[in-house]
Amino acid sequence: MNNNPLNIIQLICIFMLSIGLMNHVIVIPLLLDAAGRDAWISAIIALGALPLWLPLLYFIMKQSKQMNLFLWLKTEFNSAIAYFVAILGSLLLLVISYVTLSDTVTFTTTTYLTRTPDWAILFTLTVMCFYNAYYGIPSIAKTAVILLPLVSIFGILVAIATIPHKDYSLLKPIMANGFAPVFKGMIYAGAGYVEIFLILFMQHHLQARFSFKALFIISLLAASLSIGPTIGAIMEFGPKEATNLRYPAFEGWRLISLGTYIEYLDFLAVYQWMSGAFIRISLATALIPELFHITDKKARLRILIIIYITIFLLSLIPISDDKFLSLLYQLVLPFSLLLIFFLSLFVGMLSLITYFKKRRA
């Protein structure tokens, strides 16, 4: 167990920013494309189903006694199983890092730094995230606590300021095309919600008496961030126009102004996005050495350098935004959802074996 365990406030800040970027920004265009007007229903139903899966995560945490997951699997079972889980987990984290970095560069170059070369933005962001990841989970927790308050304030501001632009009648009719689009949308909403699974990769940094109530609150807060922006996008732009928008949550900022002289407040959305991307990439990359229980500082540094060079080079590969979105829609998000479910069931089964071993003893 870590000497300076993370408290629930720090965890909320980390996951509100990390999973929040996924649910608030990356998922919404795909969710709207899959479910259209009923996207908000998909988000709500998927959120309602989330508590059915959370007891499995908590059971794993209790059976492993919140040890480092790799160390627990290696001790209780064998190295092959530990490496199998660590490799699959690392693949998931690398995908998260690449998608976030690449999408952030696209957002930056299409909204406000249109003439800045991609490599310059990539280099700046990777250096910042590398520095934060190198100093580990405690550093990420501290920066998340600093960044989240303003992100939350700006979120409340845009929600209130756009009320005059919202037409609640655009949310109806409900399920005009049946349940199929709603179910399809649940796949993309769920892919964001289940990222709370990452808490298992950092459970050895948590307080010893981490409760199910804390897990439930963190999951609910982080997951619910997709519902408001989805409903807002449909009410502000209509289901057809919202589906055509690349960044619906960002476009909402362009509807508001402050008084006579300040017409544009969308720069505040840049702070929100960059805060989320900074924490999300830092966390995902910092967890990869944790997954293999690498405690040596030099070895950890070498691994992080390799990780950041990899995602930097991958993000430099030219790919159209349409192809990138298609990749997310057809492969990345469904794959992430299935992989997280598989890992949770696999480790859950191992936890059940441990439970019965203890009972027999």
Interval 62-103: pLDDT, tens: 999 999 999 999 999 999 999 999 999 999 999 999 999 999
Which residues are paired to 258 by β-bridges? 262
CA distance 283 to 300: 14
pTM of the predicted protein model: 0.95
Question: Helix (H, G, I), strand (E, B), or coil: what is residue 6?
Answer: strand
Both structure tokens of 141: 């927790």
Give the per-residue pLDDT at 165: 92
pLDDT bucket at 3, cuts 50 / 70 / 90? low
DSSP 278-344: HHHHHHHHHHHHHHTT---HHHHHHHHHHHHHHHHHHHHS---HHHHHHHIIIIIHHHHHHHHHHHH
CA distance 84 to 210: 26
Fold annotation for 8-329: Amino acid/polyamine transporter I (1.20.1740)
Q: What are the extents of the domains in the chain?
A: 8-329
Give the per-residue pLDDT at 208: 78
